[in-house]
Chains A and B, each alone.
Chain A
Amino acid sequence: MSLELLLFLILALIAIASALGMLLSRHAVYAALFLVLNFATVAVFYLLLNAPFIAMAQITVYAGAIMVLFIFVIMLLGTEVLPPSPVLPWQRPLAFLLALGLLAESVYLLFFRQRLTLSLPATIDPFSGPKAIGQALFTGYLLPFEITSILLLVAMVGAILLTRKER
């Protein structure tokens, strides 16, 4: 067992554990914190997978901006602990059953059918750095990039409009 594999396993364990923590924690704040941890772990994966720009963006956008927004809204609305639901009594067991099925199907697909034997080296490739991403964005993907800016503008306007007090 190499060091890389050890690192992967530990990080994977942390990621799964934090995700389960988010899933199972009763308070939304805890869920948010678990999610931050998860995002951070994933960012490390990105680094391992030779994507430093995305890793940084993950930290700043997800773990930073988006999660702060979550926390802010939780603060705004109060952390409400919901009573056990009288409706949809079979939702929960069925959901677990389906999740299990999905997981089983994925594992079966990945390890018994596809045989993805390709292995990934944890090396730093200068060609996948921020510079290369920037060049790709502003040349081949210029139109989607600009559309993204319009999307963000619309989201901003929409958010303001939705939360605005009625006069």
Chain B
Amino acid sequence: MIPLAWYIALSAVLFTIGALGVLVRRNPLVIFMSIELMLNSANLAFIAFSHAFGALSGQVFVFFVMAVAAAEVAVGLALIVAIFRTKHTINVDEMNSLKG
């Protein structure tokens, strides 16, 4: 019997690590991986709640999140490839054209 709070805490820790990865890493591939980790932590929370409350919709939502994540990764990696083609680097610190 594991308390629900522990699962949620684990999910929070993983989410924090993912967020930290987005913030501190400069390799866009790793940033993407961190995002995947954050999504994953959210999924974990979904499944835990689904199990706790006996509701199937949590699992259905996780299924949709996975589909969205797959699509996101496909497009995101395509973007990275396209950027690398033009700039010959994938260092995010060299991409500051959003500056006003």
Please list the residues of chain A having a beta carbon within 8 angstroms of any beta carbon in chain B.
Answer: 2, 4-5, 8, 12, 15-16, 19-20, 22-23, 28, 31-32, 35, 38-39, 42, 45-46, 48-51, 53-54, 57-58, 61-62, 65-66, 69-70, 73-74, 76-77, 80, 82, 85, 87-88, 91-92, 95-96, 98-99, 102-103, 106-107, 110-111, 114, 116-122, 127-128, 132-133, 136-137, 141, 144, 148, 151-152, 154-156, 158-160, 162-163
Please report whether the interface of chain A is mostly helix, strand, loop or mixed according to DSSP.
helix
Please list the residues of chain B having a beta carbon within 8 angstroms of any beta carbon in chain A.
Answer: 1-10, 12-14, 16-21, 23-27, 29-30, 32-34, 36-37, 40, 43-44, 47-48, 50-52, 56-57, 59-60, 62-64, 66-75, 77-82, 84, 89-91, 93, 96
| In the complex, chain A residues whose CB is within 8 Å of the CB of B14 | 15-16, 19, 38
Contact across chains for B51 and A116 when beta carbons are under 8 A apart: no
| Chain A residue with the shortest CB-CB distance to B91 | A82
Please report whether the interface of chain B is mostly helix, strand, loop or mixed according to DSSP.
helix
| In the complex, chain A residues whose CB is within 8 Å of the CB of B69 | 61-62, 66
Min CB–CB distance A67 → chain B (angstroms): 8
A5 to B5, CA, bound (A): 13
Contact across chains for B43 and A118 when beta carbons are under 8 A apart: no
A69 to B77, CA, bound (A): 8
20 CB contacts below 8 A, A to B, read A4-B2, A8-B2, A16-B14, A22-B21, A32-B33, A42-B43, A45-B44, A49-B50, A58-B43, A61-B70, A66-B70, A69-B74, A95-B20, A102-B12, A136-B57, A152-B70, A152-B71, A158-B75, A159-B74, A159-B75
